[in-house]
């Protein structure tokens, strides 16, 4: 059966469960908007949208369930970056009418499995035909406590820079099955004062300069210290993109306690100190600053 045989309402019904998933959802599928309860005045609302496009973020031959998983986990990784808890998702699926319903169902299965992993309710969606590649766009709404919100802007000179996990070579498979570091980020902001944090989506070489710029500081990293994924080289760790690991800046006074408690809490996930933030003036003449590798990462428009 093809997508064009099914029609929009029945297609969406396969994605959106008939009953609201959480008590916060008052209306979902089948109404004009989804209706959800407000998290209350002491919390801030977080909003993020992201998309995956066939031929750009996935190949036609990739398993559809894995593609659905990736489509949901990409914006959830941004929630990790801000220490937020995602709650609700809206999904837009754009596909040619000739696409098999089985393939669509597999996209949905991956989206649902990824959402369930973090108790996210898929509360709305949209479908459209296209003459082009399959595209899945996911918008996520969630919250963060007012005193636990971490932006990219709070980095301070002398802060230590840490990354979670291992970097590079995501395209060989990790990009379709990664788990956003939401639990790790929530633990970090519960136990420590994290000055700045972001998720590595475009590669350390692109993302670290963004964090430094937003924080109005410079940075130096020890290239040799980068935690490499199996089979990855330093170039991959800097430029490949889609690592979806956390990059964070934290006072050097916290370093020992962080390293020790992290090993206990997350024994299987490395946390690596890769460098430090510096005043802008201190890095203008530094080799790291002019290292061409650190100026490039994954670029979407070729």
The 3-state DSSP class for residue 61 equals coil
The nearer residue to its own copies, 115 or 141, going by C-beta atoms, is 141
Torsion angles phi and psi, residue 74, rounded to 5 = -60, -55
Least Å from the CB of residue 127 to its own copies = 7
Helix (H) or strand (E) holding 111: helix 101-117
Helix (H) or strand (E) holding 234: helix 234-239
User: Phi/psi zone of residue 270: left (φ > 0), alpha (ψ -120 to 50 degrees), beta?
Assistant: beta
The nearer residue to its own copies, 232 or 247, going by C-beta atoms, is 247
The nearer residue to its own copies, 74 or 289, going by C-beta atoms, is 74
Please state, in angstroms and rounded to a whole number, the distance separating the CA atoms of residues 187 and 258: 11
Least Å from the CB of residue 267 to its own copies = 27
Least Å from the CB of residue 232 to its own copies = 23
Which residues have C-beta within 8 Å of that of residue 147, sequence separation ≥ 6?
none
Please state, in angstroms and rounded to a whole number, the distance separating the CA atoms of residues 148 and 81: 12
List, as one string, the DSSP characters of 139-166.
EEEEEEETTT---STT--TT-EEEEES-
CA 134 to chain centre: 21
The nearer residue to its own copies, 37 or 113, going by C-beta atoms, is 37
Least Å from the CB of residue 144 to its own copies = 8
The nearer residue to its own copies, 35 or 282, going by C-beta atoms, is 35
Least Å from the CB of residue 281 to its own copies = 23
Least Å from the CB of residue 199 to its own copies = 6
The nearer residue to its own copies, 85 or 232, going by C-beta atoms, is 85
Query: 10 Å Cβ neighbour count for 161?
Result: 25
Least Å from the CB of residue 231 to its own copies = 27
Please state, in angstroms and rounded to a whole number, the distance separating the CA atoms of residues 209 and 275: 13
Residues in the chain: 302
The nearer residue to its own copies, 66 or 95, going by C-beta atoms, is 95
The nearer residue to its own copies, 26 or 116, going by C-beta atoms, is 26
Among candidate residues 159, 143, 38, the one with its CA nearest the CA of residue 82: 143
Least Å from the CB of residue 95 to its own copies = 9
CA 98 to chain centre: 31
């Amino acid at each position: 059966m093809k997508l064009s045989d099914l029609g929009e309402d029945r297609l969406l019904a396969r994605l959106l469960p008939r009953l609201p998933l959480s008590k916060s959802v008052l209306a979902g599928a089948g109404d004009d908007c989804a209706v959800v309860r407000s998290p209350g005045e002491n919390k801030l609302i977080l909003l993020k949208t992201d998309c995956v496009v066939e031929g750009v973020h996935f190949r036609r031959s990739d398993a559809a369930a894995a593609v659905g998983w990736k489509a949901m986990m990409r914006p959830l990784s941004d929630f990790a970056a801000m220490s937020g808890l995602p709650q609700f998702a809206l999904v837009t699926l754009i596909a040619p009418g000739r696409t098999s319903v089985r393939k669509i169902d597999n996209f949905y299965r991956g989206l649902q499995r990824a959402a369930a992993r973090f108790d996210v309710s898929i509360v709305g969606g949209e479908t459209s035909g296209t003459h082009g590649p399959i595209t899945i766009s996911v918008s996520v709404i969630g919250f963060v406590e007012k005193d636990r919100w971490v932006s990219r802007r709070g980095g301070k000179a002398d802060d230590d820079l840490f990354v979670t996990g291992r970097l590079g070579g995501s395209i060989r498979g990790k990009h379709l099955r990664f788990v956003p570091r939401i639990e790790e980020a929530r633990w970090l902001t519960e136990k420590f004062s994290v000055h700045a944090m972001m998720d590595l989506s475009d590669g350390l070489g692109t993302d670290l300069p963004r964090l430094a710029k937003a924080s109005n500081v410079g940075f130096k990293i020890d290239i040799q210290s980068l935690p490499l994924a199996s089979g990855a080289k330093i170039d991959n760790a800097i430029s490949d993109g889609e690592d979806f690991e956390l990059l964070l800046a934290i006072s050097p006074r916290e370093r020992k306690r962080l390293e020790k408690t992290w090993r206990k809490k997350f024994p299987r996930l490395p946390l690596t100190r890769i460098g430090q933030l510096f005043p802008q003036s201190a890095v203008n003449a530094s080799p790291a600053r002019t290292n061409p590798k650190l100026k490039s990462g994954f670029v979407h428009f070729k």
